[in-house]
Amino acid sequence: MTDVGRTLLVTVTGRDRPGVTAALFDALTGYDVEVLDVEQVVIRGRLLLGVLVSPGSEEAGLRAAVAAAAHAAGMDVEIASGSGDNEPRRSGRLHVTILGRPLGTAAMAGLAARIAGCGANIDRIMRLSRTPVTSLELDISGATDPDRLRGELGAEAAARGVDIAVTRAGLHRRGRRLVVMDVDSTLIQDEVIEMLAAHAGCEAEVARVTEAAMRGELDFEASLRARVALLAGLDAGVIDAVRAAVRLTPGARTLIRTLKRLDHEVAIVSGGFTQITDALVAELGLDHSAANTLEIVDGKLTGGLVGPIVDRAYKATMLEQFAATAGVPLSQTVAIGDGANDLDMLARAGLGVAFNAKPLVRRAAHAAINVPYLDALLFLLGISRDDVEDADSADE
């Protein structure tokens, strides 16, 4: 291993074409250099290639050979002397994911300034998606106070109308995960109890109570029992009609399909009802589920519930139980929800994500997604749109 002292940074730019990288390394061959680092990116057909090497024993000849090779390939080249390797990248490393629809330059300027203001450095930026949202992943180093950085970026993102997530770097990102989702207004677009209430003629009353409960203004169990009581006498056959009318959130199938391909486990935990969630489990191939159960006697809803209530505390407990069953540490769990009933679950998970959530939930969560596409979660996990589409094409 070379003792890294003085180094040379070779930067090649120009129109991308096959063979440029090979030509550069071929020119370096024979000059007793060690490759210390390489970065290469192509943007709209333009290549930027940087190679950090030890200077070797014949620096003048190396410079001439590299310049000749680059010019023969129609490229511009710069060779800069310096010292040291990229050691700062090994400390305070984080991933910052930015989602925008659209993603404006003012947002990028503000976020970059906040990163610098926290004493951190942007080492690399990579686009994860262009549609349905633009998402970028920034590799950050030197973040000595991650909580401060997360707070600063969250404030800037809120002011600029974009979404942001700050996650730790390291091998864990490639590890197996458990993703646990709320159902109503998260996995699906609807509130099932309101759909049932529409058939019972009390939709407006139930909707008012639901909204207050999701804002955290009412005790969830008491509000749930009060709403379910209004359904007493409703024909159980209505459940089939509601089940058929439920609409998955855009991107839900893509999210679950991609997670399962990567051997992650996917679960739902719902303040709704097993009469609906059991069908979702079967349809989507989910691994775990928990929900409330409506009591039905003689083909009618009694207005009561059977078994334990899936409330705020129970959701967090089920997250832990699902993780233990899956053999996944809590640090590798991801929870997604929109209401106050999800707060404990979001706090307990390794990554808690507020999805188009109430303000109370957005403030408490580790990250927020405010676009109507559930598969945007994949970008927070470092999975690009190209990766998803390539996997889908391979299965066709």
Per-residue CA distances from 41 to 16, 35, 44, 50, 275 (Å): 10, 18, 10, 9, 50
DSSP 15-79: E--TTHHHHHHHHHTTS---EEEEEEEEETTEEEEEEEE---S-HHHHHHHHHHHHHHTT-EEEE
Q: Which of 184, 190, 287, 338 is catalytic?
A: 184
DSSP 283-334: HHT-SEEEEEEEEEETTEEEEEEES----HHHHHHHHHHHHHHHT--GGGEE
Three-state DSSP state, 113: helix
CB-CB contact of 338 with 186 (8 Å)? yes
CA atoms within 13 A on the CB side of 24: 26
85 is catalytic: no
147 is catalytic: no
Assign residue 272 a region (left: φ > 0; alpha: ψ between -120 and 50; beta: otherwise): beta
Three-state DSSP state, 371: coil
Q: Which of 16, 163, 182, 344 is catalytic?
A: 182
Q: Which residues contact 335 (CB under 8 A, 6 or more apart)?
A: 179, 180, 181, 319, 342, 345, 346, 348, 349, 351, 352, 353
Candidates 195, 192, 187; CA nearest to 250 is 187
C-alpha span between 55 and 200 (Å, rounded) = 80
Task: List, by residue number, the catalytic residues.
Answer: 182, 184
